[in-house]
Amino acid sequence: MESALDYHTARALLDWQMELGATEAMLDAPVDRYEAPVKAEKPKPAPVAEAPRPRGNEVDPVLVATEAARAAGDLEALRAAMAAFELCDLKRGARSLVFSDGNPAARVMIIGEAPGRDEDREGKPFVGRAGQLLDKMLAAIDMGRAHDLSAQSVYITNVLPWRPPQNRDPEAIEIQMLLPFLKRHVEIVAPEVIVLMGNISCQAMLGRRGITRLRGTWAEALGKPVLPMFHPAYLLRQPSAKREAWADLLSLKAKLRELG
């Protein structure tokens, strides 16, 4: 007759086996490990997508844009060069080339982000609800895109001339390939002051994002004093930020007074 082990003896034997390195109990029948199901591995995180770089005989869109922009001697030639640029896919889905609005002789150049639906339809920057708010903001400091005096008028353009699908944020490669045109735009207009409205324009001109931290602090780009500000579209979503926008407008007015 077999005698059953008491609890304390069985526990002591189990502890002894664990100290020897036993990790699992033996079954009545042997286990074929070759037939055992393989445990699924955890999926590895996808790598962060980088802007494609040209290789071999591929055309470098940034180089093409740089050469085309450099050859443009005035705004009309620059607009024609941008219209002839075929290496940006945004052009295929957009209705209009949104080039600029306002007075090219203005002291202030405003750089927005990218055209929206209204801008794409009319071919001008800042013509929707955000544009109407921008006009009211400028009028509050006696300035505007259609002001009679060039000293109080503004000139407006965007980082991108074509509307991204569904108003998505521009991709890094899109900003890079169109940046030479924007830089040449600034060179031709030669404003005294640049206002950067929104994250995308700050990324393009300053290489930084985070408009809530950047706004209201003067910086420099292309040898010009630049003032980051909230985009009017953001102010429509966050009316409480209009107080900061007003402070920035007063800072812009003070800077123009300082420059004479």
Distance CA 17, CA 26 (A): 12
Determine, yes or no, domain membership for 19: no
Question: What pLDDT, in 10s, does the model give residues 178-194?
Answer: 999 999 999 999 999 99
Cα–Cα distances in angstroms (integers) from residue 149 to residues 58, 225, 242, in the given order: 48, 22, 26
Q: Which two tokens stand for residue 235?
A: 């102010």
**pTM for the structure as a whole:** 0.78
Tell me, what CATH number does 207's domain have? 3.40.470.10
Domain total in the chain: 1
Q: Write down the mean pLDDT value for the chain.
A: 87
Distance from C-alpha of 30 to C-alpha of 18, rounded to nearest angstrom: 20
Tell me whether residue 131 is in a domain.
yes
Residue 245 located in a structural domain: yes
In a domain, 48, yes or no: no
Q: How do residues 215-253 score in pLDDT, each as one tens digit?
A: 999 999 999 999 999 999 999 999 999 999 999 999 999
* Averaged pLDDT for residues 159-182: 96
What's the pLDDT score for residue 141?
96
The Cα 117–Cα 113 span in angstroms is 13
If you compute the radius of gyration of the chain from its CA atoms, what whole number of angstroms results? 31
The DSSP 8-state label assigned to residue 51 in this structure reads -
pLDDT one-digit tens code per residue, 6-21: 666 666 666 666 655 5
How many alpha carbons fall within 13 Å on the CB side of residue 165?
Answer: 6
pLDDT of residue 47: 42
Helix axis angle for 75-83 and 61-71, nearest 10°, is 150
Kindly state whether residue 39 falls inside one of the protein's structural domains.
Answer: no
- What does the pLDDT look like over 77-97, one tens digit per residue? 999 999 999 999 999 999 999
* Domain span at 230: 61-259
128 in a domain, yes or no? Answer: yes
